[in-house]
Amino acid sequence: MATAIAIDGPAGAGKSTIARFAAKTLGFIYVDTGALYRAIGLSAQRRGYAGDDKASIIPMLNEIKVELAFNQAHEQIVLLDGEDVSGLIRTPEISMMASAVSAIPEVRAFLLDLQRDMAHRNNVIMDGRDIGTVVLPDAQIKIFLSASPECRARRRYDELIEKGMDVKYEDILSDVIARDYADSHRDIAPLKPADDAIMVDTSGEDLETSVNKLVNIMRSRL
Identity of the residue, 95 or 211, whose beta carbon is nearer to ligand DC in the bound complex: 95
Identity of the residue, 128 or 149, whose beta carbon is nearer to ligand DC in the bound complex: 128
Smallest distance from ligand DC to CB 74, Å: 19
Interface positions, 106-135, toward ligand DC (CB under 6 A): 128-131
> Based on C-alpha coordinates, what's the Rg of the chain?
16
State the burial class of residue 187 (Cβ atoms within 10 Å of its Cβ: 0-12, 13-18, 19+). Answer: exposed
Q: How far apart are CA 66 and CA 61, in angstroms?
A: 9
Identity of the residue, 145 or 211, whose beta carbon is nearer to ligand DC in the bound complex: 145
Q: How far apart are CA 1 and CA 76, in angstroms?
A: 22
Residue 25-64 contact track with ligand DC, rule CB under 6 A, x = bound: --------xx--xx--------------------------
Q: Is 99 in the site for ligand DC (CB under 6 A)?
A: yes
Q: How far apart are CA 21 and CA 127, in angstroms?
A: 12
The SS3 assignment for 90 reads: coil
Binding site residues, ligand DC, CB under 6 A: 11, 33-34, 37-38, 95, 98-99, 102, 128-131, 179, 183
